[in-house]
Amino acid sequence: MPHDLSLTGLNAFVASVDRAPSADIDASRDRSACLQAAATITVELAAGARLCEIDDDWRDLVARADAPNIFMHPQLLRHAGDAYAGTRHVALLAWQTSADRQRLVGVWAFAIRRAPQSIVPNRVLSAPPAPHGYLATPVIDRAHLDATLAAMLDRIAGDGRLPRIVTLDAMSADGDTMQALMRVIALRGSAACVFGRTQRPKLASSLDGKRYLEEALSGSTRKKLRQQRRKLGDKGVLESRRITEPDAVCAAFEDFLRLEASGWKGRQGTALLSDAADAAFARAMIAELAPRGEAAIHTLTLDGRPVSMQVVLRAGAAAFTWKTAYDETLHDYSPGMLLFEDYTAALLADDGVAYADSCAFDDSGYMAAWSERQALVHLWFDAQRGGSLAFDALARVQKAFLRLRGHAKSLYLARKSGRRKR
């Protein structure tokens, strides 16, 4: 099967029929160097209580990571195991030993389940590991990317308790971690199959909030938002603030859950309160992260009542605008967009934030006002050296399923549009 591998920097590592002998020598040297470096790293399979023991190691790793990812937090994986008891959750912890000292150089968390959005019945290693997670990228020490990933794949391939197929939904495609993963997979004589690409808004700028919003939003949009803020303020005391004190964050999160459930997500059954396991996991996550300074809530209130709320998570210098909700009865005043202005300015003013990931599914919503973009891919690969015929067959089935589903969706939308015109 011809796999889709057209990612920047990958071609140099993919074998071709006509490559020169020097390329074979270079590939052999790369493989040898990677194997030697990987030999200094041991990979532990961890779950449950073990994940409580590595807090200091995790914080140290996040400071050194190429791609900090809050959805790989070991404690969140533990809470996912409690909330979603029917699914097994595991983390690969990579340790480098030198001078009688062990240092955590990688964390990659997975759920063992059927691949999301697939008819393939096989169990796979799936990331992100929990629902409402929006990034599958492993957290790897930037100085040991290839060696750590090679050791991790060796552990997956050699552990009979683990599926060999890895499925990554929303893997960051534009960073060094992705390039290292593609190199390691290619050096193992295997290949990844990319099923989809997308991009989502990202905030990464040296501008202050005022200048950034002046460039991101048109003059007419800014004028309209000023009018809406003034009109909403005429209804009572309008206040925007950032909640960071742990108990206050947990209390505000209950307000968030109710606000989210009161809107369209509640009507569609996709709000966190619509599912007991989702609600339990979300509450445990916020209670875990808030005391660490890794969860905050931005809120816009009218006479003390929340009319718009944004939950922001942190992993080192990376912020994640995880969930948002607003009072739909005040839709004409755009409370969500008003709060968007406020937390955009707050994030840009925070010297500890290098960038913010919107956690959006695409770049079609109001967060598209953030002008930077993060490229993402949905991919599968076989951790075994040389791949397997079984993986090729499963990848073909998945590709056919996605093609048929896309066709069915197009037909549905066309018919819906036709009915509206009539």
pLDDT for residue 17 is more than 80: no
The Cα-based distances of 402 to 112, 117, 250, 266, 398 in angstroms read: 21, 9, 40, 28, 6
Residue 177 CA to residue 140 CA, distance in Å, equals 7
* pLDDT reported for residue 130: 94
CB 306 within 8 A of CB 243: no
Single pTM value for the model? 0.88
Q: What pLDDT digit, counting tens, does each position of 138-194 carry?
A: 999 999 999 999 999 999 999 999 999 999 999 999 899 999 999 999 999 998 999
Q: Does residue 20 or residue 245 have the better pLDDT?
A: 245
Residue boundaries of the structural domains of the chain = 11-199+375-413, 205-263+293-353
User: For the domain bounded by 11-199+375-413, which CATH number is listed?
Assistant: 3.40.630
In this structure, of 68-82, 258-272, 390-404, the range with the lowest mean pLDDT score is 390-404
Tokens of 374: 């993060």
User: For the domain bounded by 205-263+293-353, which CATH number is listed?
Assistant: 3.40.630.30
* pLDDT reported for residue 415: 75
Q: What pLDDT digit, counting tens, does each position of 297-334 carry?
A: 999 999 999 999 999 999 999 999 999 999 999 999 99
The C-alpha torsion from 211 through 315 and 195 to 126, rounded to 10°, is -160
Residue 32: pLDDT band by 50, 70, 90 thresholds? low
* pLDDT reported for residue 12: 37
Average pLDDT over the chain, rounded to an integer: 90
Q: Work out the widest C-alpha separation in the chain, in whole angstroms.
A: 76
Residue 191 CA to residue 385 CA, distance in Å, equals 10
Tokens of 72: 């790989």
Tokens of 348: 């840009």
Tokens of 321: 């605008």
The number of CA neighbours under 13 Å toward the Cβ of 100 is 0
Residue 27: pLDDT band by 50, 70, 90 thresholds? low
